[in-house]
Chains A and B, each alone.
Chain A
Amino acid sequence: MRRFLPLALFAIVLVLSGAAPAGAVTVEKVVSPGGIEAWLVEDHSNPIIDMEVAFRGGASVEPARLPGLAYMASGLLDEGAGPYDSQTFQGKLEDMAIELSFEAGKDNFRGHLKTITDHRDTAFDLFRLALTKPRFDAEPVARIRSQILAVLAREQQSPDAVAALAWFKAAFPGHPYGVPTRGTPQTVKAITTADLKTYVARHLARDNLVVGVTGDITPAQLGPLLDSTFGKLPAKAEAVTVPDVTPKAPGRIDVITRDNPQSTAMFGQAGLKRDDPDWYAGYVMNYILGGGGFSSWLTEEVREKRGLAYSVYSYLEPLRHAGLIIGGVATRNAEMGQSLALIRDQWKRMRDQGPTPQELADAKTYLVGSFPLNLDSTTSIAELLVTIQVEHLGIDYLDRRAGLINAVSMADVRRVANRLLDPAALEFVVVGKPQGVTPAP
């Protein structure tokens, strides 16, 4: 075997310890000898290493005829790879207490690896095998297929899931976002081993890869591991154009009858993508409207004043090709009409009146002050590193974030509320036997 001198390892260290929100967290950009980049937060207080990865694409780039393909592939990468069949591979993970898993979402295909330092090299090697040499043997393919069919059947028992599937289907006709990420029983049964191999070969590549690492590892140790783990991936993922799309939300109310004592609703309309200049204004506005738990208007009006729900909320969902503001509520059938009317009222109130200066100030205080609470485990920090990269927020994001939120003015909030919130066009899917709710096509 040819020996060569290792190339210099580039470790660009950006010290972000600075003041406020990130606290003591220091993000380092590590570029391997082979040119693979990862962001790293070193933490040697426990002998644990966590790596999170994302491949841009996810379910949105799977063939239109095969919804659920990316999800099924994600379930099979750790079910046998390279020389190891499924039971051997899983046995190695268990024996060394290595966590290794994959999950496909609408926009990204994500991977998770967590290991104690002693098993670091084995863990990264198993991750490499899973990504580059998955076996897709007949037994695990049949088994994972049966598990997904069970998941789909169980989703049909869950009013939340039923409402969400129907909402996305109606909002995104003809677009990958309208298709169930986990597929349908028909498509899941139709997926072949060849389809799975093709998805992995085309969509897990170096150019759509993002890596975040946290824990007991130095840049010098991580660099070579990046090359050995990801170096064998194809250089480029297949280009698939997913069009930008605006959700169709003309103000319909769709009722799906289920013999439940309580009706469950999902509601929403067009929101903001993550790179929208109004993102931070929208984020602050939504906190006051429905994002802030007991500090939010929806909770105050629906739960605290009237006892109509245990949970009512809204949030911004920034997909890569569409922005959404969506929410949920569950209320006994007899009063569901009242809950939906109250939600529309708050939508209107935010658009027409906006919050008080105190509410705006409180929202900003919370959103800035609570951020470090997210840094409470190696996994949560590594996930944050991936999100920052996937959304192109910049390596100095942790230092800039507080300023971006504090800069949101009342005029910004009023503008974004006026731009987004249209109570008449709010789109509802209700699952249950609601009273006082008239379906509107």
Chain B
Amino acid sequence: MTNRVVKLGGILGLAGILATPLPAAAQMFNPTTYTLSNGMQVVVVENHRAPIVTQMVWYKVGSADEVPGKSGLAHLLEHMMFKGTSAVPAGEFSKIIARAGGRDNAFTAQDYTAYYEEVAADQLELAMKLDADRMHDLSFNQHDFDTERSVVLEERRMRTDNNPGALLYERMEAALFLNSPYHRPVIGWMREIERLTRDDALAFYHRWYAPNNAILVVAGDVQPKQVEALAEKYYGPIPRADTPVRDRLKEPEQVAPRRVTLRDPRVEQPALSRLYLAPSYHYGDQDLGAADSAYAIEVLAEILGGDPTSRLYKELVVKEGLASSAGASYDPTAWDYGTFSVSATPRQGVNLDKLQAALDKVLNQALSQGISPEEVAKAKERLKASVAYAKDSVETGAHVLGEALCTGQTTADVEDWPKRIAAVTPEQVNAAAKKVLDRRWSVTGRLLPETPRPGAKPLPPIESSREIR
């Protein structure tokens, strides 16, 4: 996801939390939910450790809801949401929050756009007033639009064009999704961002931004009744609108494994990674497996590459000594497809072909010999244990619940996650492995220096860029 401001320290923190498949335990977040008369869903998570509160407004619209040719529009609109209403002049939003001792930011992903403020508990009303205002009364001038588009172009250069690893990942996703709108990067293609107009942004806003397409999540030192009353007061009067139904293009049957090689003179550390198309919590089909196989795939990811005793790390890094790091991860939180990824960083002098052969050997063994019941039991325990920390920070619950609700899940799905992981059987894990680890539905990415040199050095394990914060 890409956001308005890079939070220097915070980025890794949250990315780390979200990289582990951590939706809640039963009684984990224990949210209180209700729906306003205009259709806006409200979720409250109490956490009374400190007198602080996080308000998040999540819109069920992201880059995958753009039309072809307008890539980057959802994200650019996110930036423009700080550029004024009739009540709040351009640029004032963040300053008002700061003067109240608060912080604010926003982020955009494929399936959602979210805005948040962290404030003292007694400033929640101010945050609500401001976010409710821009939900229905956004207006900005041409000059501010042009300037902000330049900012976004700089953002793209910084995140992607200046970074060969990110550039490769973007092209791998484009190759993985032949037809799905996940094909295009959240930040957009350079040449399309350059051509976005003020009218495009306002039309997108009017089409998608409405209380019935939004979710209010409030987490922290609050009482649900008090939140309900404030939400009725500020968001309640905003009229509902006919927002579009998400009906996105789906993938054809994939028959050819793809390989994307980026040779770039800036590369110092080669890298190998692969993305497989997978079901998500919300979407599945006969080729990829049903949506409920997502839980078995999470267990599979833990066994193959969740940590330093996982199969990939143990074989490629510890035993064979071919890689300095290796892992697997699975992102099941999506309206459409999930992605399963494996990656490895070669040690100095190890070429990528050799590393890839070793990686495929580990994956093939998992398929041919199967995953043992003991491995499954242990992986399930580890996943469950990780949940213990989810409730610790105020922000985590708000983020997990907001993301889930924007990608077709319910709060009950989130709360049931530990139960569903506990119910996964070894048979389900092995069946899911056979579906997911199918090279025909994959893209292998190779990052190399421009001039191949013998003994070239190892790139960062590709991280999921579903959410670029």
Please give the residue numbers on chain A whose beta carbons come within 8 Å of chain B beta carbons, in ascending order.
23-25, 43, 45-48, 86-87, 90-91, 94-97, 114, 116, 139, 142-143, 146-147, 149-150, 153-154, 156-159, 258-262, 264, 292-295, 300, 303-311, 330-332, 362, 365-366, 368-370, 372-373, 375-380
Contacts and interface: CB of A to CB of B under 8 A. Distances in A.
Contact of A311 (B100, B158, B389): B158
A86 B158 CA distance: 38
B98 interface: yes
Contact of B165 (A157, A264, A311): A157
A377 B393 contact: yes
A369 B101 contact: yes
B206 interface: no
A112 to B, nearest CB: 13
Given A143-B324, A307-B148, A365-B101, A47 B388 contact: yes
B457 A150 contact: yes
Contacts of A369: 100-102, 120
B250 to A, nearest CB: 34
Q: Interface on chain B toward A: helix, strand, loop, or mixed SS?
A: mixed
B6 A311 contact: yes
B150 A262 contact: no
Contacts of A366: 98-99, 101
Contacts of A365: 99-101
B154 A116 contact: no
A260 B48 contact: no
Interface stretch (B169-177, B378-386, B399-407, B430-438): B378-386
Interface residues of B, number: 70
A157 B101 CA distance: 37
Interface stretch (B134-142, B278-286, B313-321, B414-422): B313-321
Contact of B269 (A43, A90, A153): A153
B457 A262 contact: no
B50 A25 contact: yes
A293 B388 contact: no
A307 B80 CA distance: 13
A332 B308 contact: no
A392 B165 CA distance: 42
Interface in B104-123: 118-120
B162 A330 contact: yes
Contacts of A332: 153-154, 157
Given A90-B307, A331-B154, A366-B99, 6 more contacts: A23-B51, A116-B388, A142-B321, A294-B94, A373-B118, A378-B392
Contacts of B100: 365, 369
A307 B267 contact: no
A185 B82 CA distance: 45
A147 B325 CA distance: 7
Nearest to B157: A262
Contacts of A303: 151
15 contacts: A95-B378, A149-B458, A150-B324, A157-B165, A157-B267, A157-B268, A261-B162, A262-B154, A262-B162, A293-B103, A310-B152, A365-B99, A368-B101, A370-B102, A377-B394
Contacts of A150: 269, 324-325, 345, 347, 457-458
A205 B165 CA distance: 41
Contact of B50 (A97, A258, A259, A376): A376
A376 B219 CA distance: 11
Of the listed residues A142, A153, A309, A380, the one surrounded by the most CB atoms of chain B closer than 10 A to its CB is A153
A79 B424 CA distance: 31
A350 to B, nearest CB: 18
Contacts of B392: 46, 48, 377-379
B318 A87 contact: yes
Contact of A308 (B150, B385, B457): B150
B373 interface: no
Contacts of A146: 321, 324, 347-348, 458
A116 B390 CA distance: 12
Contacts of A87: 308-309, 314, 318
6 tightest Cβ-Cβ pairs between the two chains A and B: A369-B101, A307-B150, A97-B385, A153-B269, A262-B157, A377-B393
Interface in B297-313: 307-309
A295 B393 contact: no
Interface of B: 5-6, 48-52, 82, 91, 94-95, 98-103, 118-120, 146-155, 157-158, 161-165, 265-269, 307-309, 314, 317-318, 321, 324-325, 345, 347-348, 378, 381-382, 385-386, 388-389, 391-395, 457-460
A23 B120 CA distance: 10
Nearest to A144: B324
A114 B386 CA distance: 11
B5 A311 contact: yes
A48 B389 contact: yes
A259 B147 contact: no
Contacts of A379: 392
Contacts of B151: 303, 307, 309-310
Contacts of A48: 388-389, 392
A428 to B, nearest CB: 18
B314 to A, nearest CB: 7
A308 B157 CA distance: 12
Contact of B149 (A46, A156, A262, A307): A307
B97 to A, nearest CB: 9
Contacts of A304: 91, 147
Contacts of A96: 385
A298 to B, nearest CB: 13
Contact of A375 (B49, B318, B325): B49
B458 A153 contact: yes
Nearest to A339: B154
Given A307-B154, A369-B102, A159 B162 contact: yes
A260 B161 contact: yes
Given A25-B50, A311-B6, A259 B265 contact: yes
A70 B163 CA distance: 29
Nearest to A145: B324
B84 to A, nearest CB: 12
B5 A293 contact: yes
A260 B348 contact: no
Contact of A262 (B101, B161, B321): B161
Given A139-B318, A295-B95, A362-B99, A372 B120 contact: yes
A153 B457 contact: yes
A377 B386 CA distance: 15
A294 B94 CA distance: 7
B211 to A, nearest CB: 26
Nearest to A310: B155
Contacts of B5: 293-294, 311
Contacts of A260: 157, 161-162, 266
A79 B240 CA distance: 57
A226 to B, nearest CB: 23
Contacts of A95: 378, 381-382, 385
Contacts of A308: 150, 154
Contacts of B50: 23-25, 372, 375-376
Of the listed residues A47, A90, A114, the one surrounded by the most CB atoms of chain B closer than 10 A to its CB is A90
A372 B220 CA distance: 12
A261 B264 CA distance: 13
Of the listed residues A143, A310, A378, the one surrounded by the most CB atoms of chain B closer than 10 A to its CB is A310
B187 to A, nearest CB: 11
A264 B162 contact: yes
